[in-house]
Chain A
């Protein structure tokens, strides 16, 4: 079951009724059962893995809690992290590393047969593993108390709105909410439904439609010219944004209806004026997770090297971010690319600020536009590594973009027009939210008729031009 499957539209209203009609003492149990039911519907066997990670995390954090020695606590923390990372490495990286190894051996004219497994990546494994690791470290650092009720911990790791693609939540935000007495609130219901509706719009109307066009380009790189590849590369970040952003909004809205506040995952990233700002607005839950659990300890460790220490920490953090996205050389390149840009910005930040102050650049519209556009261009270029499967393919795209131009591929005119329409709606919405937050209010309008019509029109647009068949969330693969 996914958020866009029809079965979810049956499952969720039933859950809302059962959940709110159950005594608050047992609501966590309703949520836990429904979360496992939701997950089992994707592939039953993977629920065992989820259970294993929960039991391991509970066992080792309990040991940490009971232990008085810091060394012993550290040992248990490490044991758990290694243990719960093992399935992630096995499922996600085994075959990829194997393939790379076979290629290298072939290159060296060595013929060694390595075992190959047909592995299907358990959906959401990267997300719930990171949540479990975060909780383990928080317990070790005594930022979060040990959760004695294994059911609540299991719910935190398996909470169905978040399990498949995040946001990667923190124990200190979620555990108290699971324990608190909740009252059904009309405002939360309306707010949550609005968020969900816009999430569905982003996913079905924008992301999946763009996906059809972009796949037609990137699945046949050899047959497309540079103009088409450039256009596809410029559109791809929007597809990613609408896909994970849309999914995150559905997750946030679902949680809200059930009375939970989940962290925001995107904050209109394409209006960022630098890559450092971009990474504070894009996939926020992953980036803050990496900042808290990797970048901050690393920069503390390397603090004596001053700016070089920051650069080393940034490079390692983005490298890990790249590897988290996929076990290919492409994602390593992607991570390094991001690391280099953000490091460059960190090094030149002072100089840049001085220059901006000297010429009063921040007040000039052309300068803001230039910054926004160049940031977008940098991100779109880096995503070429993410969208292609091999480095050769990535360089072929870059090469074609630079040297081979021609007629733009349109494909099916209706797909192309729907892509542009959806994109335009999303862009205008983000633009007004960013710069004119009170100018055009539709969902939040004080006039009930406008509000109702806005909801209805979005539903009708989804029915009319949303991609209602097939289509998977891009981030399920991570």
Chain B
């Protein structure tokens, strides 16, 4: 018998049908999400090469004495051979393309839970400007949310709903499926080769650029600056020697707000900051660049040597 629910104009049969179908749908989605998500998780942590593997290795395994942090510029600018030869210490490069300060803070927090490096070098490529990009990029460490409590506060900066979204098993692996598959193949090791995290770039930048147009207005994101400060405090607390480097860029930038802020924070925390953005060895030197932002392997070798000499002077 249909029971009419007075003022709402509903009838009980319809409501029952609606809810029973919604429950069935939720159960199917839950089942698929759970099984596929678990499968992706399993294979994600089984990867033996590539981007994901390097992040996992940085977080869970590296015991290197020299740790390089940063984005793609860190990843391509510091050659392990040079560092190991010049400083006689083990080396690992945790830099990852497109990831900025939040990623680096989260990684450092995790690494310091189990290991204290002797030298921490942060390649700072800017990114204090307001905008969602670097928050969105935190998706690269979502797979570690569950197993690494220390990362959670940083990951939750991504959005206020991150905790709810992470109830889904698939969500942390969104858009990562093909990279996970590739990372589980032996062939990927040669296709995506790295030397202790460092990924060399071999081409030469053949074009010329007159100037980089400066941003009209620079809106500083205080959360990003705070994260940068947090990184320095944590790194110092670990007892490591901490250095911040602004590595070379193909041409002189017209605005230097980024560098200004970086300098101020480093001064405040008493951390050496070396700015190579105006170094004449590199400026407009095509032979050393892969593109306007990244040194090629030759450039990286020269630059690594310079940095090692500077570190040696500091240590001794």
A4-47 toward B: CB 8 Å interface, digit per residue (1/0)?
00110010000000001101100000000000000000000000
- The yes or no answer to A302 lying at the interface (CB within 8 A) is no
Give Cα distance in the complex from A189 to B17, angstroms. 12
B124-160 toward A: CB 8 Å interface, digit per residue (1/0)?
0000000011001001000000000000000000010
Minimal Cβ-Cβ distance residue in B for A186: B14
Give Cα distance in the complex from A6 to B159, angstroms. 9
Give Cα distance in the complex from A293 to B138, angstroms. 48
Minimal Cβ-Cβ distance residue in B for A421: B178
Question: Across the interface, do A463 and B24 meet the contact criterion of CB distance under 8 Å?
Answer: no
- The yes or no answer to A346 lying at the interface (CB within 8 A) is no
Interface positions, chain A 460-478, Cβ under 8 Å from B, are: 460, 463-470
CB B124 to nearest CB in A, in angstroms, measures 23
- The yes or no answer to B177 lying at the interface (CB within 8 A) is yes
Residues of B within 8 A of A183 (CB): 9
Residues of A within 8 A of B10 (CB): 20, 184
- The yes or no answer to A67 lying at the interface (CB within 8 A) is no
Question: Across the interface, do A455 and B25 meet the contact criterion of CB distance under 8 Å?
Answer: yes
Residues of B within 8 A of A460 (CB): 29, 32-33, 36, 170
Give Cα distance in the complex from A120 to B7, angstroms. 45
Residues of A within 8 A of B276 (CB): none
- The yes or no answer to A94 lying at the interface (CB within 8 A) is no
- The yes or no answer to B189 lying at the interface (CB within 8 A) is no
A407-422 toward B: CB 8 Å interface, digit per residue (1/0)?
0000001100110000
Residues of A within 8 A of B8 (CB): 20-21, 184
Question: Across the interface, do A459 and B36 meet the contact criterion of CB distance under 8 Å?
Answer: no
CB A13 to nearest CB in B, in angstroms, measures 11
Question: Across the interface, do A417 and B28 meet the contact criterion of CB distance under 8 Å?
Answer: no
Question: Across the interface, do B161 and A466 meet the contact criterion of CB distance under 8 Å?
Answer: no
CB-CB under 8 A for A456 and B133, given A184-B8, A184-B9, A465-B174: no
Residues of B within 8 A of A105 (CB): none
Instruction: Report which of A118, A417, A452, A469 forms a contact with B24, defined as CB distance below 8 A.
Output: A452
Residues of B within 8 A of A223 (CB): 207
Residues of A within 8 A of B175 (CB): 414, 418, 464-465, 467-468
Give Cα distance in the complex from A459 to B37, angstroms. 13
Question: Across the interface, do A456 and B177 meet the contact criterion of CB distance under 8 Å?
Answer: no
Interface majority SS (helix, strand, loop, mixed), chain B? helix
Give Cα distance in the complex from A142 to B173, angstroms. 57
- The yes or no answer to B312 lying at the interface (CB within 8 A) is no
Residues of A within 8 A of B25 (CB): 452, 455-456
Residues of A within 8 A of B24 (CB): 452
Give Cα distance in the complex from A466 to B175, angstroms. 7
Residues of B within 8 A of A21 (CB): 8
Question: Across the interface, do A470 and B159 meet the contact criterion of CB distance under 8 Å?
Answer: no
Instruction: Report which of B18, B133, B171, B177 forms a contact with A468, defined as CB distance below 8 A.
Output: B171
Give Cα distance in the complex from A467 to B8, angstroms. 38
Tally of A-B Cβ pairs under 8 angstroms: 74
Instruction: Report which of B18, B29, B164, B179 forms a contact with A189, defined as CB distance below 8 A.
Output: B18
Give Cα distance in the complex from A184 to B14, angstroms. 9
Question: Across the interface, do A459 and B29 meet the contact criterion of CB distance under 8 Å?
Answer: yes
- The yes or no answer to A347 lying at the interface (CB within 8 A) is no
Question: Across the interface, do B29 and A118 meet the contact criterion of CB distance under 8 Å?
Answer: no
Question: Across the interface, do B9 and A469 meet the contact criterion of CB distance under 8 Å?
Answer: no
Number of interface residues of A (CB under 8 A): 33
- The yes or no answer to A99 lying at the interface (CB within 8 A) is no
Minimal Cβ-Cβ distance residue in B for A467: B175
CB A259 to nearest CB in B, in angstroms, measures 11
Give Cα distance in the complex from A453 to B32, angstroms. 10
- The yes or no answer to B270 lying at the interface (CB within 8 A) is no
Residues of A within 8 A of B33 (CB): 460, 463
CB A421 to nearest CB in B, in angstroms, measures 10
Minimal Cβ-Cβ distance residue in A for B8: A21
CB-CB under 8 A for A23 and B36, given A7-B161, A118-B217, A455-B25: no
CB A390 to nearest CB in B, in angstroms, measures 15
Instruction: Report which of A7, A23, A414, A417 forms a contact with B7, defined as CB distance below 8 A.
Output: A23
CB A415 to nearest CB in B, in angstroms, measures 8
Question: Across the interface, do B174 and A464 meet the contact criterion of CB distance under 8 Å?
Answer: yes
Give Cα distance in the complex from A463 to B172, angstroms. 9
Minimal Cβ-Cβ distance residue in A for B170: A463
Residues of B within 8 A of A190 (CB): 21
CB A65 to nearest CB in B, in angstroms, measures 33
- The yes or no answer to B168 lying at the interface (CB within 8 A) is yes
Give Cα distance in the complex from A259 to B299, angstroms. 64
Give Cα distance in the complex from A184 to B179, angstroms. 45
Interface positions, chain A 362-382, Cβ under 8 Å from B, are: none
Residues of B within 8 A of A453 (CB): 28
- The yes or no answer to B237 lying at the interface (CB within 8 A) is no
A176-200 toward B: CB 8 Å interface, digit per residue (1/0)?
0000000110100110000000000
Minimal Cβ-Cβ distance residue in A for B131: A470
Instruction: Report which of A6, A20, A184, A463 forms a contact with B161, defined as CB distance below 8 A.
Output: A6
- The yes or no answer to B165 lying at the interface (CB within 8 A) is yes
Give Cα distance in the complex from A361 to B308, angstroms. 76
Residues of A within 8 A of B177 (CB): 414, 464-465
Instruction: Report which of A10, A186, A414, A452 forms a contact with B28, defined as CB distance below 8 A.
Output: A452
Minimal Cβ-Cβ distance residue in B for A185: B14
Residues of A within 8 A of B217 (CB): 118
Which of A6, A190, A453: most chain B CB closer than 10 A? Answer: A6
Give Cα distance in the complex from A183 to B15, angstroms. 13
Give Cα distance in the complex from A190 to B33, angstroms. 22
CB-CB under 8 A for A6 and B17, given A418-B175, A463-B170, A463-B174: no
CB A201 to nearest CB in B, in angstroms, measures 14
CB B9 to nearest CB in A, in angstroms, measures 5
CB-CB under 8 A for A6 and B165, given A413-B178, A414-B179: yes
Give Cα distance in the complex from A470 to B14, angstroms. 38
Residues of B within 8 A of A469 (CB): 132, 136, 139
Residues of A within 8 A of B18 (CB): 186, 189
CB A196 to nearest CB in B, in angstroms, measures 13
CB B33 to nearest CB in A, in angstroms, measures 7
Give Cα distance in the complex from A10 to B29, angstroms. 18
Residues of B within 8 A of A463 (CB): 33, 168, 170-171, 174
16 pairs of residues in contact across A and B, judged by CB atoms under 8 Å: A6-B161, A24-B9, A184-B14, A223-B207, A414-B178, A418-B175, A452-B24, A455-B25, A460-B29, A463-B168, A463-B171, A464-B36, A466-B174, A467-B175, A468-B139, A470-B133
**Residues of B with Cβ closer than 8 Å to A?**
7-10, 14, 17-18, 21, 24-25, 28-29, 32-33, 36, 132-133, 136, 139, 159, 161, 164-165, 168, 170-171, 173-175, 177-179, 207, 217
The 3 closest A-B pairs by CB, nearest first: A469-B136, A414-B178, A456-B28
Known: A21-B8, A186-B17, A468-B174. 12 other contacts (CB 8 A): A6-B159, A6-B161, A6-B164, A184-B14, A190-B21, A414-B177, A452-B25, A456-B25, A456-B32, A463-B174, A468-B139, A470-B132
